Amino acid sequence: MSSGRIFEIKRFAVHDGPGIRTTVFLKGCPLSCLWCHNPEGISDEPEIAFHERKCMQCGDCFMTCPFGLHSIDENGTHTIKREACRLCRLCVDTCMPQALRCFGTEYSPEALFEIAVADIDFYKQSGGGVTCSGGEPLMQADFTAEFLSICKASEIHTAVDTSGCAPWQAFEKVLPVTDIFLYDLKHMDPVEHKKLTGADNRQLLENLRKLSEQGMPVEVRIPILPGLNSGEQNILQTAKFLKTIKSLTQIRVLPYHALSGSKYSAIGRPCHMPTATGRENIAVQQVVEAFGRENLPVCM
């Protein structure tokens, strides 16, 4: 039996495709975007998160941990020796205030479907369904395809939210059971794209072209970071490229925010998110107007 590694399941989601949806966040991503809002989804391995503001300093975790990896010093600072953690999850299970959490739980496609199908009436009434997101769901393409095939058998609408940075063979596995792709587009210049995400954009642009050739509905999503990808030249190049995507249903322009910084410290990962400038909404409006002048379907 196959299994997938999931770091979150969000019910009643309304921003991950049409209607009311259940969004399944799969662990692992080939990119390291500077502004990543889900850093707990970057690594494909399970991770322990510690949310300091929830900690009551009861000491249950360091009394429970069989390897002595938790400690609280005289100043009340809670430290975890993450490099030695074997992810037994005993500390998570014993933490009553839920200051500790493990990101990365194994599900079978059938078990995940039982969670998703509980809201099938809401999907039908709202035109919603199930979305596989991440991380990058195509890093677990076999599992994603198997899970979505079960959903399709129950006539549940399906979406895949992807960065596009995956082999085309991974797309081919999910194509027959996907109704729409939500596709990230960050920068048209391959050098700048690599600076922002850790990888150039040639693969994702080619995959987007292929989806268009297949006639697969695609909603393109563009996070706008003032000063990084909001420049006129990049926006015009983006518009020119998107005019070639015949199966494009919508361009959704997203404002940047830096509200996820605490997630990085919780999992012990350095945070490189740019500082919000206060001009994010203005930059988004300018981009929306630019796409509108090019007669492209665009919204915020």
Place of tokens 């518009």: 239
Please tell me the distance from the alpha carbon of residue 239 to that of residue 233, in angstroms, as a whole number. 10
Cα separation, 201 vs 194, in Å, equals 7
Look up residue 273 and give its DSSP letter.
P
CB 222 within 8 A of CB 234: no
Rg (CA), the chain: 20
Contact 275, 241 (CB under 8 A): no
Q: What is the pLDDT of residue 278?
A: 85
**Element housing 12 (H / E):** strand 4-13
pLDDT value of residue 1:
57
For the chain, which ranges sit under pLDDT 50? none
**Cα angle: 67, vertex 70, 74; to 5 degrees:** 135
| DSSP secondary structure letters along 228-268 | TT-SHHHHHHHHHHHTT-TTEEEEEEEE---TTHHHHHHTT
The contacts of residue 140 (CB under 8 Å, 6+ apart) are: 4, 5, 26, 27, 28
- Domains of the chain in start order, with CATH, are 4-44+106-299 (3.20.20.70), 49-103 (3.30.70.20)
- Kindly report, residue by residue over 229-266, the tens digit of the pLDDT: 999 999 999 999 999 999 999 999 999 988 888 999 99
Query: Going by DSSP bridges, is the β-strand pair 218-224/180-184 parallel, antiparallel, or unpaired?
Result: parallel
What whole-number distance in Å separates Cα of residue 68 and Cα of residue 54? 21
What are the C-alpha distances in Å from 56 to residues 59, 85, 115?
A: 8, 22, 32
Q: What is the DSSP letter of 95?
A: -
Give tens-digit pLDDT for 75-115.
Answer: 888 999 999 999 999 999 999 999 999 999 999 999 999 99
**Cis peptide, bond prior to residue 135, ω within 30 of zero:** yes
| Tokens read off for 108 | 């079978």
Q: Which pLDDT score, from 0 to 100, does residue 74 have?
A: 85
Q: How many alpha carbons fall within 13 Å on the CB side of residue 90?
A: 14
Q: Which residue in this structure is represented by tokens 């198997």?
A: 146
Distance, in Å, from the CA atom of 186 to the CA atom of 213, rounded to the nearest integer, reads 21
Q: What's the residue count for the chain?
A: 300
